[in-house]
Amino acid sequence: MHLPFWLTTTLLFPVLLYQGKKARRTTPRLPEAGGSPCGQYGEGTPARRVLVIGESTAAGVGVETHDQGLASQLAREIHERTGQTIAWHTFGVNGIRLGALVRKLETTELPEADVVLLSMGVNDTTGFTPRFRFRRQLRALRQLLAPRYSGPILLLSVPPMHLFTALPSPLRYVMGWRAMQLDKIYQQLARDAAADFGYLNYPTVTDPDLLASDGYHPSPKGYAFIADAIASSIQAS
């Protein structure tokens, strides 16, 4: 089924290797966000508690402090729409793959939460994590978190890397092709195991004003844009 992808990747491998190394060498490596990784909007006991886990997006790459990042912006958006007190917490590691995240979470004490959002996929795309392993790791994550979080893990779709204009062609299109393969696993799990997983579509972020200085990660405005796009789905979950 995926033979065309692997044939294309094999034929283009020298070009992809060169472009990948050049992109790593020339792209500014932004730090993770600083400041407290948790907070709340509103007074008193939270009506809902939002937890975001994952890779660079959860780590706040592209903003200076976590209160400018996805979890905080999402909590703020829900608070402003509903008037409810919303707590937020984020846990992310820049550059991490899903398997390593699962292992790290085995020894990490996470807070209570009503909504758990997973933001992953880019590093598993660039690292060519096998699809069967990616699916198995998602199920392992669900099993690990099940005792603490009864609701489904909300899977934020793998970003559309074919639209990452900071990446050269053909690398951009091959990475986009691979990202869509992993994203289909998200969609399948959300369809076949709805009690364990939900699926949220990642809005396309291509406007330069929504991107950080590296041209890849969202800026504060970019995280606000994503939060606005997915807040309704979070409210309904």
- Going from N- to C-terminal start, the domains of the chain cover 3-29+40-236
pLDDT in tens, 109-127: 999 999 999 999 999 999 9
- In Å, how far are 52, 90, 232 from 75, measured between CA atoms? 11, 11, 12
46: its two tokens: 């939270």
**pLDDT given for residue 193 in this prediction:** 96
Q: 197 and 143 in contact (C-beta within 8 Å)?
A: no
Cα–Cα dist 143/140, whole Å: 5
- What CATH number belongs to 3-29+40-236? 3.40.50.1110
Per-residue pLDDT of the chain (237 residues; tens, 9 = 90+): 577 877 788 878 788 788 888 888 888 889 999 999 999 999 999 999 999 999 999 999 999 999 999 999 999 999 999 999 999 999 999 999 999 999 999 999 999 999 999 999 999 999 999 999 999 999 999 999 999 998 999 999 998 888 887 788 898 899 899 999 999 999 999 999 999 999 999 888 878 889 999 888 999 999 999 999 999 988 777
Global confidence as pTM: 0.92
Cα–Cα dist 237/170, whole Å: 38
Those residues with Cβ within 8 angstroms of residue 16's Cβ, 6 or more apart along the chain or in another chain: 9, 170, 171, 174
Dihedral over alpha carbons 230, 179, 16, 210 (to 10 degrees): 0
- In Å, how far are 21, 73, 112, 198, 202 from 145, measured between CA atoms? 36, 24, 11, 15, 23
